Structure 1
């Protein structure tokens, strides 16, 4: 995130992490689920429209011991893509930054009202 703050401050202001991952105590997990936390939602969200997309969703996966994309993650990525978002899987920080830079090079999505 530090690189984003320095190189792309407008992106840093909008991008956010969805705290879905990790293992939690059952009581905490139940409370989060009641508040709307859903399995499969990607890790990072950039609500900035580019290249005909409405925004970018990134699901992070490890590079050292590659983790598989779960069925709920795959389904969520598909549903987001069907709604006009670019929803991708990135293997580590460098892959994510490369994909983010490529996304930012796309022209702004024009919205007609």
Structure 2
């Protein structure tokens, strides 16, 4: 009699972890700024506002002032009559996400307050936007 080997069902394939393309590209941008524009790198920072968090952590952060729609990067250099540059960073198409209603609204409010707030899709577009911004003459602040 033939031995019938019991075959176990093929285990389901685990999904490959989702690549954070936006995070990877933003890290490349910061790395390039550190290497090529250290004065800019010293005055730009990331606002870790998004991402998935446990409900209790999200609640605490909201109490501490986290607000939906704040752009990802802030360059604290005043140029061209602006107080600073805010960049809502998105990955390069076709891996980019849409701009949410909260992000559009926050960008509008920042622009109304004298900041330049923009959306950049990808590392290269962001570098060019920063270079364009730096070509503007420094904003003169008069302290009385």
- Normalised to the residue count of structure 1, the TM-score between the two structures is 0.94
Q: Is 1:20 aligned to residue 49 of structure 2?
A: yes
Q: CA RMSD in A?
A: 1.1
CA displacement, residues 73-109 of structure 1 (integer Å, 9 cap, x when unaligned): 1110000000110000011111111101111111111
2-side partners of 1:77 and 1:29: how far apart? Answer: 22
Runs of 4+ in 1 over 4 A off after TM superposition: none
Query: Which of 38, 59, 62 is 2:88 aligned to?
Result: 59
SS at match of 1:28: helix
Q: Is 1:45 aligned to residue 74 of structure 2?
A: yes
Residue equivalent to 2:104: 74
- Aligned pairs for 1:25-40 (under 5 A) are 25-40=54-69
Give the superposition deviation at 1:66.
3.3
- Aligned pairs for 1:85-100 (under 5 A) are 85-100=115-130
Q: Which runs of 5+ in 2 are unaligned?
A: 1-29
Give the superposition deviation at 1:47.
0.9
Matched positions, count:
113
Give the superposition deviation at 1:8.
1.3
2-side partners of 1:37 and 1:79: how far apart? Answer: 16
Query: Which of 68, 83, 102 is 2:113 aligned to?
Result: 83
Q: Which runs of 5+ in 1 are unaligned?
A: none
Give the superposition deviation at 1:61.
1.8
Q: Is 1:103 aligned to residue 133 of structure 2?
A: yes
